[in-house]
Amino acid sequence: MDLQIRAISHKHNAKIAIVDISESMREICDLQGTNPFISVALSKFVIGNTLISLDNKEMAKINTNYITSNGAAKKMIAEFQNNKIRAYAQVKDFEIENYIPKISNNPIYATVGTQGQLLNSRDMGLKEPYISTINTDSPNMDHIWMDFLRDSNQIGSLLTSDVMLDDDLKIKKVVGILIQLLPEHTQEDVELLENKLGNTSYLCEILMKSTNYYQVIKEILDDAEILESKELIFECTCTDEKIINSIKLLGNSEIEKIIKNNEDVHVVCDFCNKNYTVENSKIKELIK
């Protein structure tokens, strides 16, 4: 079961969140047929979007696009709403030799690229969503998310994630952690966390080995109070109505052409691969 756990330490002026989205990412990557490099890059991207979404209101929709001009991934999209996750990778497979060593000798870094833009949209149910963007030259997705957090809220944050593949190079485990200092933090709080956490590799190793995330939180922040623990699931939000609305965007002239040719419209959802067919008779109803 995928889950999120959030906690707060008043004594050490910090909050902490852990998410495990192994089942969701396994399903997403299997549906999209991603190669191992895309699977890892997409998983780390989705972990970041999930972690930064947890403090938002229940029905808030958090959508993030990552576009790279030189990485193999090209474009990735992650969405989070009401504890439901969906994600999409534009490129599912590629020849890694075309990117190594030109971009990086690290295959995941070559997948993410060294020239990118991250665009985050937060729809809180108001008139317009809040949109923020950063440009990045880092191929490390964890660092990209930390740069985004620093630019967007100026709060000291540590975000790290890890992805494990099984013997068939399929997703086995995807886990991440976000620790943020509260505004009233002291230098002692900073030093405590630095001493407790050591390096991020060590922290990821603990998360990968553990199934008791409550205990991990308590070991980092001994007085931590659990704020919530909820199940996360992969669920696509595509519907017949949304497909119809997308056809409307074609404009009357293009719709009239489809009607004249007596064509049905076939659409495949990028996120879940579900096939939709909109019959010509239904399309005729779009012309008023």
For residue 154, pLDDT beyond 80: no
Q: What is the CATH number of the domain that holds 249?
A: 3.90.1280.10
Asked if 83 and 230 touch (Cβ cutoff 8 Å), the reply is yes
Interval 105-136: pLDDT, tens: 999 999 999 999 999 999 987 778 889 999 99
Provide the domain limits for residue 14.
2-234
Tokens coding 46: 């989705």
Tell me the average pLDDT across 131-160.
91
For residue 209, pLDDT beyond 80: yes
Interval 1-50: pLDDT, tens: 999 999 999 999 999 999 999 999 999 999 999 999 999 999 999 999 99
For residue 139, pLDDT beyond 80: yes
Same domain, 40 and 173: yes
Q: Per-residue DSSP letters for 99-158?
A: TTTTT-SSHHHHHH-SSEEEEEEEE-SSSS-EEEEEEE----HHHHHHHHHHHHH---EE
Task: Please state the pTM of the whole predicted model.
Answer: 0.91
How far apart, in whole angstroms, are the C-alpha atoms of residue 62 and residue 124? 9
| Residue 197 banded pLDDT, cuts 50, 70, 90 | confident
How far apart, in whole angstroms, are the C-alpha atoms of residue 143 and residue 131? 20
Same domain, 269 and 189: no
> Can you give the pLDDT at residue 203?
82
Same domain, 86 and 213: yes
Question: In 10 A of CB 215, how many CB atoms?
Answer: 11
Q: Which residue type sits at 256?
A: E
> If you search the block for the tokens 């504890």, which residue do you land on?
83
Q: What is the CATH number of the domain that holds 164?
A: 3.55.30.10
Same domain, 204 and 275: no
